[in-house]
Structure 1
Amino acid sequence: MANATQKDLLQGLISTTTGNITLIDHETGIQLYSKTLQDIGIDIKEDNKKLQGGIGNPTIYSWGENRQIEISLEDATAKLDFTAAKFGQMLQKGEVKAFQEALKYTAKGGKFDLLQEPAKDVKPQMFDMKTGELIPDENIAIEGKGVTITTTVTDGDVYVNGYDITVSDALYFDIDASKFAKTFEVIISNPVVLRQANGTFKTTYIRQYRFPSGRLEGSMKDDLKSKSDGGKVSSKIEILKPENSDTMGRIMLLPLETFGKSQLQAMGFAK
């Protein structure tokens, strides 16, 4: 390992774009990745302490302590795996019990088909829309999606209350009162422009922040609006001091040659 040369030190660095982020789960090794970030804020602070004394109370000595690093993210899209991680969970795929909202149907000859088959042992409430009266449960037969009504409702509108359905291939995660946000290794990469010796500017490096341990903030706000902003999601990561090291992170400038063409294109430019 050698010190940077004078030529290296004279290069001026300009950041002109956002970057990509990768989170690596400490427990499972599973990686979460986003390349749709609109903003990345890396806030590094310390508490400055000082000793004062004497006439005029001048500062005799000052020192720093309590290094703090916080990363704020604004993502243009909502990612379910990131959201699940905020709740200490992994995204699952499988069978769930979901809800079919209430709908109006038209019966012909006392028969019609439901939009979704009810879950096992579920029989939704139904109303005759001509009279507003509840159709007795014993007068309703359901087989799969098919409904047969054995009352005076032969032709006409039937209002079916919402009911449970079974979905076999849903993506989901649970909000568990006993589980909280996970910790990850955090890696942020973005291209940077450097001033060349002849005064021109050129993208010759990828800047990479690498933090051994960071905890996702477990808060979430989901705004459902009639005028949508596309689902932008905000997140925060608090960087932690590793148990066996004082190094909370590292900032690196990596030559473009380090990366393949496909990765460079994913960052927004070709090699």
Structure 2
Amino acid sequence: MVFQVPTGNLDVLTCYLLANISQDELQAFKAAFELGNFAQFSPMLKIRIVRPPEDYIGQSHEYIRRKEDEAGRERAFLILDDKAMENDAVWYISYFADVQPPEDQWAVNKEVLWKMLIRTDKLATVYVNYSIGNTSLQEDLGNCGVEFPVKEGYEQPKVFDYKTDMHKAQYSQPTWVRAEPHEYELNKGGEEFGTYVASPNTLARLKDGIAEESGILNDWVTPYPAGPFRMPDGTKKEFPEGTMVLQLKLNPDFPWPPFKWPNGSL
């Protein structure tokens, strides 16, 4: 089986369950998150769904954010309340406007809590985009009809949603495999790809059976020589001479193991 880059340690966000929902509704929420998280084969994030402390029940998001800060839990968290459930969404609770000044152009004062209602199956992608700086919560709020500068307790006219069909997106998730010489084949030349005719030995694909057993959708791609790979524990994995890196796509229909939710999650 070819070597695929292992999933590293994923961030874990706490999700406070404030809505009174059935087990079926909870499972539907978890399924939507797993779908958008490509959870079985290429996860980006984990969430731990927990019951809130008693004093959080019936309180505002601002109150809960302050209590989290007082407890030293300063990172973003999630809230699943009635409004979120009604919209197939979840609240992403960030920080107060005084945490990263200056934000005068965004908020009227420092008491504004940055938060956004996000479609559940888009949560993982949103989180990754914020983590790497592709976009910001403020920019996304603007796309939801929020007017700036925002006031305390601002309303969000639309739920944030990328409008991507996440079922179709399952088939476009990339993987970078390191294939040893006995695991791939080079093209013979003359293969046509639209108006492009490939020269010999310029493309590679996995040999018959290897892609299928590895959960990969096979295709002709440009190969690149593979060097050592640094594993999450800091060690280096070496590969035989002639090993190539192939960028292919994962097969969501492969019998992947179930996604493991964090310990203590509902």
What TM-score, normalized to structure 2? Answer: 0.25
Q: Which has the larger radius of gyration?
A: 1
Bigger helix share: 2
Normalised to the residue count of structure 1, the TM-score between the two structures is 0.25
Identify the structure with the greater strand proportion.
1
